[in-house]
Amino acid sequence: MPGLPAVAAGRPVVVVGSLNMDLVFRVPRMPVAGETLQGHGYVTAPGGKGANQAVACARMGCAVALIGQTGQDGYGDALCASLRANGVDIARVGRTAAAATGVAVILVEDQGRNRIVLAAGANGLLGAADIDAAGALIATAALLIVQLEVPLDAVLQAMRLAAAAGVPVLLNPAPAQDLPEQFWPLIDILVPNESEAALLTGLDVTDVPSACLAAARLHARGARRVLVTLSDKGVVLLDEHGARHLPARAVSAVDTTAAGDTFIGALATALCEGQTLDQAAAFGQSASALCVTRAGAQPSIPYRHELTP
């Protein structure tokens, strides 16, 4: 398989995905059914997998454009302002009066683990026609990044336009759901976590050996390169050179929100700079390791100058 093209002047990474306002609660533990639990912290912060991954690319030094949608409300104003401040091109972020801006309620335990509930709002109205309107942007991209927090018809159309133009496609299959068969031949790089890999393969993905099996099964379905992220166990990579494991960096996690998005943004940036898959994955690990030591989604995403080799 050929390597990914280097980013040239005027050729950004293009992200198609969600924009959410995150409502983040710090809790000692997760509440049980019927329980009212006293939290000890609350903040609002820009989020959404698409926006997070775009910001991660930008903070790693990559030109990036986002295709998505918000409502015509205060949350949408704040999200767009934050993206502009981070250097993300938002010319193709629509503002609709038909729905409110998407929201994510995030409960973060003291140990750093989280649980997330989404209300799609305007994200759910992004359609294939919106993607077609941005077809020229996708066709001139260095790399297309997509996830599953916007409707599948929009994701699929973006992947088809990219493939037709010879633009590599990176899919982060989150939130986890079954993928239509027509997705698989279009995936150049697939980046699931343990639970997403488990849903897509039917395997119990809990460690490196099971992640290797899952990666092989996902590769057999059509994904050309597969990276299964395993949180503090590292990442399993599979490509034409076979499967291998990169251990995680040891850190004290504060909040794992946006760790996966940070990994993907750094991975994509490094690949577009011509680094190998292993080098790019290690770079992504370095970025996500710093991300989890901080609270919030976009506020936790590091800048390139903060990373250590």
291 assigned ligand-binding residue: yes
pLDDT per residue over 250-276, tens digit each? 888 877 778 999 999 999 999 999 999
The secondary structure of residue 193, as a DSSP letter, is B
276 assigned ligand-binding residue: no
Tell me the C-alpha distance between 59 and 304, whole Å.
6
Please state which of the ranges 5-14, 30-39, 223-232 shows the lowest mean pLDDT. Answer: 5-14
Tell me the C-alpha distance between 263 and 283, whole Å.
8
172 assigned ligand-binding residue: no
188 assigned ligand-binding residue: no
193 assigned ligand-binding residue: yes
- Residue 63's pLDDT band, with cuts at 50, 70 and 90, is very high
Count of helix runs (H) and strand runs (E) in the chain? 9, 13
pLDDT for residue 5 = 44
pLDDT for residue 243 = 97
Q: Which strands make up the sheet holding 235-239, listed edge to edge?
A: 89-96, 64-71, 13-16, 143-146, 169-171, 189-190, 225-229, 235-239, 242-246
What is 13-18+48-98+127-297's CATH number? 3.40.1190.20
Tell me the C-alpha distance between 233 and 254, whole Å.
17
Tell me the C-alpha distance between 212 and 191, whole Å.
13
Q: Which structure tokens are listed for 100?
A: 């409110």
pLDDT per residue over 109-168, tens digit each? 887 788 889 899 999 999 999 999 999 999 999 999 999 999 999 999 999 999 999 999
pLDDT for residue 149 = 95
End-to-end CA separation in angstroms for the chain: 28
Backbone angles phi, psi at 161, to 5 degrees: -65, -40
Using DSSP, state whether 256 is helix, strand or coil: coil
51 assigned ligand-binding residue: yes
Tell me the C-alpha distance between 21 and 155, whole Å.
21
pLDDT for residue 288 = 94
Share of the chain above pLDDT 90, in %: 79
pLDDT per residue over 154-210, tens digit each? 999 999 999 999 999 999 999 999 999 999 999 999 999 999 999 999 999 999 999
52 assigned ligand-binding residue: yes
Residue identified by tokens 């995030």 is: 106
pLDDT for residue 260 = 93
- Residue 7's pLDDT band, with cuts at 50, 70 and 90, is very low
Tell me the C-alpha distance between 128 and 151, whole Å.
9
Share of the chain above pLDDT 70, in %: 96
Q: Which of 271, 309, 281, 246 lies closest to 167, judged by CA?
A: 271
Catalytic residue among 153, 178, 261, 278: 261
Tell me the C-alpha distance between 47 and 29, whole Å.
22
User: 239 catalytic, yes or no?
Assistant: no
Q: CA-based Rg of the chain, rounded to a whole angstrom?
A: 18
Tell me the C-alpha distance between 210 and 195, whole Å.
12
pLDDT for residue 309 = 63
The CB density around residue 73, as the number of other CB atoms within 10 Å, is: 17
280 assigned ligand-binding residue: no
The residue ranges of every structural domain in the chain are 13-18+48-98+127-297
Q: Is the pLDDT of residue 4 over 60?
A: no
pLDDT for residue 242 = 95
pLDDT per residue over 12-59, tens digit each? 999 999 999 999 898 999 989 999 989 888 989 999 999 999 999 999
Q: Is the pLDDT of residue 229 over 60?
A: yes
The secondary structure of residue 145, as a DSSP letter, is E
49 assigned ligand-binding residue: yes
